[in-house]
């Protein structure tokens, strides 16, 4: 597999992992009965919006750099769901911003109202992102009239209402439950986290076995995949029963690695379920390496993207942690000490 194809998964994995933190927090806040966890969730949500928005922009720029020759085709096919996703993300962040401002002003009823309002927007963004992801790799929603001339039109009904999209999305939701339990160290929900991880693994394996056989075979025949699964379960127990330093950073890293592993397991092939094996090589699907931009531009672009990733994403993350998360955490701790 061309290493530049895997390069695309770096900003994708970063965006998905960051959004998992925010989506899991937004979903858990209305139902969490433990006030100490709710305070942490509110702080985290207020610290993530800049990282998530910047990561999405970086992801789109990466796509335009790496797969420039086919961006006009994928743009035409995926334009509608992508635009809706961006609009829903804007409404989602608006709701979070109003909730955070209400909290600062002491209007806690308004804060709770807008956090609840942010929940459906978060689910819509997650579902649309999942739809874009599954459609590219399976081919559902892509009506290929002529592959050689890239004569492709969209079928949004098929893109959204196919079994693979829904099964994979439920698997993602189950993983977010596991992720959130560990991220906040919710020891009272250890079994819920274990169940979420078990269901996520089952749904991922079933869906890839049925619709992405290249990914399934690459995963189950790789010892590293099974070691990774064991590590996820072990870390769930450790993170919820012990005070683990940098607990959030470790689960972020494990999730990021998992997303990168998925990228490696695709072997760089897309449209797997609509392009039969033997059409373009012995495996089903189309090698994404055929769609890359020219070598000179690709090499130069990857260097620029790498530097931008370190400076922009790294810088935004560091600032969000220092200015938003750490300051807010210290403010909460000061408030608690004053009350005592």
pLDDT tens per residue across all 340 residues of the chain:
666 777 778 888 888 888 888 888 877 766 566 566 667 777 777 777 767 877 787 777 777 777 766 666 677 788 889 889 989 988 988 888 888 788 778 787 887 788 888 889 989 999 999 999 999 888 898 887 776 666 778 899 999 999 999 999 999 999 999 998 998 888 888 899 999 999 999 999 999 999 999 999 999 999 999 999 999 999 999 999 988 888 888 998 999 999 999 988 988 888 887 777 777 778 887 787 777 777 777 777 777 777 777 766 666 666 566 555 565 565 555 655 565 5
Q: What is the DSSP string of 72-113?
A: HHHHHHHHHHHHHHHHHHHHHHHHHHHHHHHHHTT-HHHHHH
For residue 263, give every residue at least 6 positions away whose Cβ sits within 8 Å of its Cβ, in sequence order, or none: 5, 6, 8, 9, 12, 13
Question: What residues have CB less than 8 Å from 11, skipping those under 6 apart?
Answer: 55, 58, 59, 62, 309, 313
Rounded CA-CA distance 193/182 in Å is 8
User: How far are the Cα atoms of 7, 38, 304 from residue 264, in angstroms, in the given order?
Assistant: 10, 36, 23
Structure tokens at 13: 């994995």
Which among 114, 5, 14, 110 is positioned nearest to 58, based on CA atoms? Answer: 14
Task: Indicate the number of domains in the chain.
Answer: 1
Nearest Cα neighbor of 171 from 134, 138, 214 is 134
**Which two structure tokens, joined as six digits, stand for 125?**
């963004």
For residues 118 and 19, give the distance between their C-alpha atoms in angstroms, rounded to a whole number: 13
> What is the reported pTM?
0.86
- The boundaries of the domain holding residue 191 are 3-339
């Amino acid at each position: 597999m061309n290493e530049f194809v895997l390069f695309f998964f770096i900003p994708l994995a970063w965006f998905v992992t960051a959004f998992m933190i925010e989506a899991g927090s937004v979903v858990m806040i209305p139902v969490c009965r433990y006030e100490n966890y709710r305070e942490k969730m509110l702080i985290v949500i207020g610290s993530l919006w800049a990282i998530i928005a910047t990561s999405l922009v970086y992801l789109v720029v990466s796509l335009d750099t790496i797969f420039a020759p086919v961006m006009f085709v994928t743009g035409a096919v995926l334009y509608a769901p992508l635009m809706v996703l961006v609009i829903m993300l804007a409404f989602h962040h608006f709701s979070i911003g109003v909730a955070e401002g209400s909290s600062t002003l002491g209007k806690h009823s308004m804060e709770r109202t807008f956090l609840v309002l942010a929940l459906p927007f978060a689910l819509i963004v997650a579902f649309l992102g999942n739809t874009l992801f599954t459609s590219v790799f399976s081919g559902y929603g892509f009506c290929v009239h002529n592959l050689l001339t890239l004569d492709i039109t969209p079928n949004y009904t098929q893109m959204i209402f196919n079994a693979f999209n829904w099964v994979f999305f439920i698997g993602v939701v189950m993983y977010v439950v596991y992720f959130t339990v560990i991220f906040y160290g919710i020891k009272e929900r250890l079994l819920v986290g274990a169940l979420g991880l078990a269901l996520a693994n089952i749904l991922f394996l079933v869906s890839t076995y049925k619709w992405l056989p290249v990914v399934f075979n690459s995963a189950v025949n790789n010892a590293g995949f099974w070691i990774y699964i064991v590590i996820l379960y072990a870390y769930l127990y450790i993170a919820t029963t012990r005070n683990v330093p940098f607990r959030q950073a470790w689960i972020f890293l494990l999730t990021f690695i998992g997303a990168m592993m998925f990228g490696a397991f695709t072997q760089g092939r897309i449209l797997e379920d609509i392009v039969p094996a033997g059409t373009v090589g012995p495996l089903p699907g189309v090698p994404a390496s055929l769609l890359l931009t020219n070598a000179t531009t690709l090499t130069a672009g990857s260097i620029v993207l790498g530097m931008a990733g370190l400076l922009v994403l790294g810088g935004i993350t560091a600032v969000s942690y220092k200015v938003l998360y750490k300051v807010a955490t210290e403010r909460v701790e000061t408030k608690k000490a004053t009350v005592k």
